[in-house]
Chain A
């Protein structure tokens, strides 16, 4: 039987959502509306489910997890999502380095090297990029900064929430390289793309 990174279920009067993401695979999830998407991403990021929801992360039920265990589960999940935005009073470098500087790992020189490598691979000029405040960056650049910040944290489960929203075709080609960058560094990681179903 395939080991699952995520198993999620939510039943509402309007619809029923069921998501399963095998460990190490790439899964595309299309949810009925923005509300369902927000609930799903929030449940993953909090490693906690609300009434009417069921969530298992890496085979462990989130509902019954103790606080310490939940914190550990939360540390294994990361999302490039509008829900996890950048700090507006910090420049891009400070945003990228913030979690590492706060938690004390990985070392800052390592973060700087990783950030410079990824930014160069994604076609951004690191020194110019690092000094900009989020308000001075475009939507694509903000998504890149959030992605690099996430790569530093090295999550086992990476959620891309509406990654292409608001981007041009050219920019969509750039964000499509996020997955490869993540895979290059975490070959065993799980990737979940989340989006809403397009109404016809």
Chain B
């Protein structure tokens, strides 16, 4: 219980510190770390994400349409409500946790264990500036970019495949998609992706900077804890966000009654 409270307090402090230090991103070494983070999270992950996202969209569309005996309206709703709004940001967050969350938590924990964070302090370099800020902001923007890739490709994959399963042309589906699409869908997934990226990076940095001890054995413990908590945080944010914005939980299965 005490540990949980300590982690919550640490998370809040870390978030406030990051927010207060945003202007420092312009400093050369911090900007460099930020660009590296974007590159490793957003750019190198994209190659693997594209075929997976395409596969994801196609599988969801194929299974749901077949099971629900869908028409054009339902097919487009599945694409918008499930793939675009929920699965897209969640799939991107999963990729970020597995690729970046593990890397960030292990890297920061190693820096802590090997005394590199202490060296930074002696050089007058603030750990929040140099380690936390670029990773958190970089991870947020990279998660957003990955979410857009996944959404675009999964929806496009669904639109291309659907005519083979239901009696509707690609253009019919596309036109209906643009009719049903609302700007709130875009803002919703944008804000959610940014929050996911923030939660993942903040959680991984916090655990990396606070290992249970200063031995090499602490590193795998830190990674396990950071990844598990990041996943729980993402699911929690998703559930709370869906409930607050649309009054629905668990992908719309449970609807809130006012």
Contacts and interface: CB of A to CB of B under 8 A. Distances in A.
Contacts, number: 54
Contacts of B16: none
Contact of B114 (A74, A88, A153): A88
A156 B28 CA distance: 26
Interface stretch (B69-77, B117-125, B191-199, B209-217): B117-125
B132 to A, nearest CB: 14
Interface in A47-83: 71, 74-75, 79, 83
B122 to A, nearest CB: 5
Contacts of B27: 101-102, 104
Interface of A: 45-46, 71, 74-75, 79, 83-89, 94, 98-99, 101-104, 108, 149, 153
B107 interface: yes
Given A99-B124, A102-B27, A104-B27, A83 B119 contact: yes
A101 to B, nearest CB: 4
A84 B28 CA distance: 22
B122 A83 contact: yes
B123 A98 contact: yes
B122 A75 contact: no
Size category, B interface = 20 to 34
Given A74-B124, A83-B119, A89 B28 contact: no
Interface of A is mostly: helix
Contacts of A102: 27-30, 123-125, 129-130
11 contacts: A79-B122, A83-B115, A83-B119, A83-B122, A86-B119, A88-B114, A98-B29, A98-B123, A98-B125, A101-B29, A149-B123
Contacts of B130: 102
Task: Return the 6 tightest CB-CB contacts between A and B, nearest first.
Answer: A101-B28, A84-B119, A101-B29, A99-B123, A45-B122, A84-B122
A79 B119 CA distance: 10
Contacts of A103: 124
Contacts of B123: 84, 98-99, 102, 149, 153
A85 B110 CA distance: 13
B199 to A, nearest CB: 24
A85 B114 contact: yes
A10 B18 CA distance: 39
Contacts of B111: 87-88
B119 A99 contact: no
A45 B119 CA distance: 10
